[in-house]
Each structure stands twice: as structure tokens, then as C-alpha cells.
Chain A
Amino acid sequence: MVARPKLGFSRHVETLSIENLPLLDLHGEPVNLAEQFDEYLLLIFLRHLA
């Protein structure tokens, strides 16, 4: 499922299959996002690195 764009903070609950996101750690190894936290996870998506 693709989340819908919203302005500002949205409290409308959307759901994603977080296990299937192809993320990598700093060594380039695959990471399962679901294994990164116990209760809640705050994801901060950077724009760029500068």
C-alpha cells in the first residue's frame, strides 16, 4: 500500500508492510525495519546530506 500525501502532521492511520522495504545499513547489508524497534519507531527521511 502506498501512503497518501498530506500536509502537516496527519493523524489518519495508514498502514505499510515495513518488513518489505529494501533498506540497507551503513555496511550495505539488508535491514529488516521491523527488527529495529520494540514499540514505536520515528522515521526521519532526510532530503539530502548537505
Chain B
Amino acid sequence: MRQQHAEFDRRGVKVAVLSFAEPAKLVRYQEHHQWPFTMLADPGRQAYQAFALKRLSWFQVFSPAALKLYWKLLRGGMKPEHYEGDDIYQSGGDFLIDRNGNILFAHRSQDPADRPSAVKLLQAIDRVLGKP
């Protein structure tokens, strides 16, 4: 995602990453990951609710696709990070909005493995905005 930063810029798309974590936890997360995007906190989850991002079931969190992803990440050397009070059941999503608050596309994850790559997001942006 961070390698594609310039591609989003080139399309006039700013990227903001939202989390339901408290700002203090998000600071620790950002110190570790150094995302080149705006980081925002939504501890009350009003934005998650407004964008209809529901909580997942146990079966979705531990779906075969999710377990395969966890296994792949662990085999790749990823070490789980621990942030107290985290909620593994909250779903995530990706939305492109314009200045009027119109949601031009929406992707609501159905399980933890269901996240589009940066390339897929750029393709979706190009389809919506009609750019190459």
C-alpha cells in the first residue's frame, strides 16, 4: 500500500486510515508502521456504523480463508502485535468518497482475508473516475 502512495496522489485521491482504537494506541501503531497516510481515530465507532461496517461472527473471523491468511503471515515472519482491549470481531472496509459525501465505491470485508490489494483499489478508482 505504501509503495502505491504516489499512484493515489496522481489520481487526486487522498488516503485516510481509520481505526476504532483510542488515539494513544494509534500513536504506538503509527510509530511502528509509519504509514504515509492520515491516521484517524473513531473510538466511538460512529463512522464504522455510518459506513455500515458490522461486527463479524466467530465463523467469519476464523474462516478457512482467514486461517490461511494468518498462517501465511506467520510463516512470512510477521509477529502479532498486542494492543490491549482490541476487538477482533469488528469488520473493516474501503470506501472512496467525494467532496459531497457521495460513496463512489464501497468494499465491506466479509472476513479478515477479504481486503482488496492496493492494485485492486486503484483499478476500482480508475473504473469509477474514468481515468487510465
Q: Which residues of A contact B (CB under 8 A)?
A: 2-11, 13-18, 21-28, 31, 33-34, 36-50
Task: Knowing that A38-B99, A42-B121, A49-B19 touch, tell me 5 more A-B residue pairs with CB under 8 angstroms.
Answer: A6-B106, A43-B18, A46-B19, A47-B109, A50-B86
In the complex, which range does the number of interface residues on chain B fall in? Answer: 35 or more
- In the complex the two chains form, is B41's CB within 8 Å of A25's CB? yes
Task: Check B82 for interface membership: any CB of A closer than 8 A.
Answer: yes
Selected contact of B17 from candidates A14, A39, A46, CB within 8 Å: A46
Q: Please count the residue pairs between chain A and chain B whose beta carbons lie under 8 angstroms apart in the complex.
A: 181
- Residues on B lying within 8 angstroms of A by beta carbon are 8, 11-21, 23-27, 29-30, 37-44, 46-54, 80-83, 86-88, 90-110, 112, 116, 121, 124-125, 127-129
Residues in A neighbouring B11, C-beta threshold 8 A:
40
Q: Contacts A8-B107, A13-B102, A49-B19 hold; do A23 and B52 have CB atoms under 8 A apart?
A: no
Chain A: which residue is nearest B107 at the CB level?
Answer: A9
- Is B99's CB under 8 angstroms from A42's CB? no
Inter-chain contacts of B127 with A (CB < 8 A) = 11
Are A16 and B103 in contact (CB-based, < 8 A)?
yes
